[in-house]
Amino acid sequence: MAKKQTQITVRVIAKDGKFLGDDIGGSLITIYNVQTGELLAKGYTKGGSGNTTEIMQTPRMWSQPIPTDGASFYTARLDLDEPCLIEVTAYGPLGGLQSTHKVSATQWVIPGKDITGGDGFLLVMPGLLVQVVEPITHLNLASLPAPINFAANVTMMCGCPISPGGVWDSKDFEVGAQIRKEGRIIDEIKLVYAGEVSQFKGSYTLKRKGYYEADVYAYQPGTGNTGTGRVTFFYEPPAK
C-alpha cells in the first residue's frame, strides 16, 4: 500500500498563559513512532503568542478550540502506510533555558488523516520562567555581616508579564528564596513586586561563614505553576 502524507500541526501553550512564540524562543518539537522508537519529525514552533483578549479574557466552552490567530506552530508531514502511535514532545521555552520544561503526549494517527483542525495537537507547558538577576552566582563576600540583594525576573512560560492588576496579577503569585547550607533549608525570604513589570526584589543578611545556596522560586497557588533558579554565595575568612 502506498504511503499517505499526514500533517500534524503542533502548538505549545503555557499553562494559564499564551502560546510560546518567537519572543520567548519558541519550542523544539520532536515526533517519534512509539512502537519502533523512530524519529519521524523534528522542528521548531514559529510565530507569535496569540491574542491576549481572545485567549485569556473571552469565555468559551470546553469543546471550543483555543483561538490561534497569530499563534506559533510547527507542522510535520509524515509519510505513513499504517496506523501509527506517535509521541509528540515539546521542549521550551528556548529563550529561557534555565526554566525550560519538557511535555509529551501520545496519539494514534491514521494515514492521510491530518491533525490540523481546531488548535491542532496541543501541548500545555506548566511552570513559570524565573531569571535570577541578583545576586550573581558564586558571590564571594568580603566580610560579615553581609547584606545580599535578591532580584528576579518572573514571567509566565510564554513570557507574559506579571504586574499588579494585570492579566497576570502579581497578588496571585508567591516569589521568594530558600537559603540552604549543607543541603538544609536554614531560612526563607519573600521577594516583593519591585515597581517594574515582572520584577521582584528582597534582601538577606549573611551572618556566618560558609558556603550557601539560594533557590529563588515563583509559585502560583491557583494553578500550581512553579519556577526556580539557583545561585550560590559564600564567605571564608582569609587564611592568616
Residue 162: closest CA among 102, 214, 100, 227:
227
Residue 199 confidence (pLDDT): 98
Residue 224 confidence (pLDDT): 98
Residue 64 confidence (pLDDT): 94
Residue 31 confidence (pLDDT): 98
Residue 240 confidence (pLDDT): 74
Q: Environment class of residue 87 by beta-carbon count within 10 Å: exposed (0-12), middle (13-18) or buried (19+)?
A: middle
Peptide bond into 111 cis (omega under 30): no
Global pTM? 0.94
Sheet containing 210-220, strands listed edge to edge, beginning at the edge strand earlier in sequence: 139-140, 225-235, 210-220, 174-181, 184-190
Count of residues for the chain?
240
Residue 239 confidence (pLDDT): 77
Residue 1 confidence (pLDDT): 64
Q: Which residues of the chain have pLDDT under 50?
A: none
Contacts of 59 (CB under 8 A, 6+ apart): none
Residue 230 confidence (pLDDT): 97
Residue 204 confidence (pLDDT): 98
Residue 145: closest CA among 194, 79, 203:
203
Residue 117 confidence (pLDDT): 95
- With left for phi above 0 and alpha for psi between -120 and 50, is residue 167 left, alpha or beta? alpha
What domains can you pick out in the chain, each with its CATH number?
4-125 (2.60.40.10), 128-235 (2.60.40.10)
Contact criterion met (CB below 8 Å) for 103 and 201: no
Residue 209 confidence (pLDDT): 96
